[in-house]
Structure 1
């Protein structure tokens, strides 16, 4: 079920699923009840209450959800989320980079997730997420980068590589067969490092972190029907702002 998981701070766990957990997205044409059943099984496996895990309606944008809002929509449209109250968070991917962020706030851990695809990465989704976390008082931020398509596999038109590299030079790459490519992971690593965020790149039990190369992971490019894997952060709460 898990490509990798670990306790990354006192009481806080980060994990990335593999295809053993099944497709966890409702927007891929899968049976909605089957997806909800898998999500419930995932929640049981990580020990959170049913329905507590926040999934996003991801649109390759830069909006950041305040997961602590009492009036939070049931399925919020956003590509990142933050919490200072221990809300369990999920981010779905199938080639884009799932980023999980953890820092220490005034009353305990402050955590977040971000969906860093090409468009969101270039438009600043990571900057927005880090800004929101630091606005909650987060110090000592670290980011865990989960499985994504690698720069040796993510072929794009030359003009797209040039446009992307003009904004984030570290994304420029070449495929293993010699054509223009993008290295989303390299771009995310560069942006986070420039923001003063420590970057961790786990090595999963299911092998390579390239989603296209590793059939244990979901890749839209390799197989659009493979669904979505997720990055997760949980175990820091729940807490309230007025908690002692």
Structure 2
């Protein structure tokens, strides 16, 4: 069910699912009842596998390959966005509210999870959907900017599995257009044709923002245990997840 999972700072956990968790997207022609049941099973699995981790209901979003970032105070209808930020809050009565658990779905794009890692600050968490249009239009820098506006200082990132620069073949003109904005995306396939390296582009954007990349996942196209749109256009979506807990 989980491709990778870890408690990345006390009280904050990050995970990426695999095909074993099933399709978690509502927009790919799957039965919505089945999708919601899988989402519930995923949340239950997190709760049962750790006494400390009870994420409640994850917030998903309607991803449109843009660069809009939405702040999420509490669970609700999925916003139309490609990134979400949430933060723990303390009310005037000194009651603490955990940040809203967040989810991002992909099948080749880069699922980005970001966390304020300083133990001296309340958790600020985020997810971003960094496909080709999102990398080119700076969705990740926009997400980091929103996190910092919400009080984050020391930010680290976890990049889930995504299609690699040796597999993501694109037309020459498209490679040139994207690389003109993010030069580190310029790549060639293992068979010598034009390609884009989206994870490299995201890592370069992170470095420019002084964000540490703690993990970068494997290639989706090369792993049958992960969904890949390039391998099969009638495929599901796996998720990058982040949640706070006691």
What TM-score does the superposition give when structure 1 sets the normalisation length?
Answer: 0.90
1:101 is the counterpart of 2:114: yes
Question: Deviations along 1:26-69, whole A, 9 cap, x unmatched?
Answer: 0000111000000000111122365x21000000011111111x
Match of 2:222 among 205, 213, 216: 213
Match of 1:84 among 77, 83, 87: 87
1:54 and 1:88 in contact (8 A); partners too: yes
Of the structure 1 ranges 167-176 and 227-236, higher mean CA displacement relative to structure 2 is found in 227-236
4+ residue segments displaced more than 6 Å: none
Go from structure 1 to structure 2 and tell me whether the alpha carbon gap of 1:33 and 1:225 turns closer, same or farther (over 3 Å shift).
Answer: same
> Partners of 1:104 and 1:220 in 2: how far apart?
33
Match of 2:161 among 143, 147, 151: 147
Structure 2, gaps ≥5 residues long: 48-53, 89-98
1:190 is the counterpart of 2:195: no
> Partners of 1:151 and 1:117 in 2: how far apart?
13
> Partners of 2:77 and 2:44 in 1: how far apart?
20
Across the aligned residues of Structure 1 and Structure 2, the Cα RMSD in angstroms comes to 1.5
Go from structure 1 to structure 2 and tell me whether the alpha carbon gap of 1:53 and 1:73 turns closer, same or farther (over 3 Å shift).
Answer: closer
The answer for the alignment partner of 1:233 in structure 2 is 242
The answer for the alignment partner of 2:132 in structure 1 is 118
> Partners of 2:139 and 2:240 in 1: how far apart?
16
1:199 is the counterpart of 2:213: yes
Q: How many residues align?
A: 229
Match of 1:60 among 57, 65, 84: 65
For residue 124 of structure 1, report the CA deviation from its aligned partner. Answer: 1.1
For residue 236 of structure 1, report the CA deviation from its aligned partner. Answer: 4.2
For residue 104 of structure 1, report the CA deviation from its aligned partner. Answer: 4.6
> Partners of 2:55 and 2:67 in 1: how far apart?
28
What TM-score does the superposition give when structure 2 sets the normalisation length?
Answer: 0.89
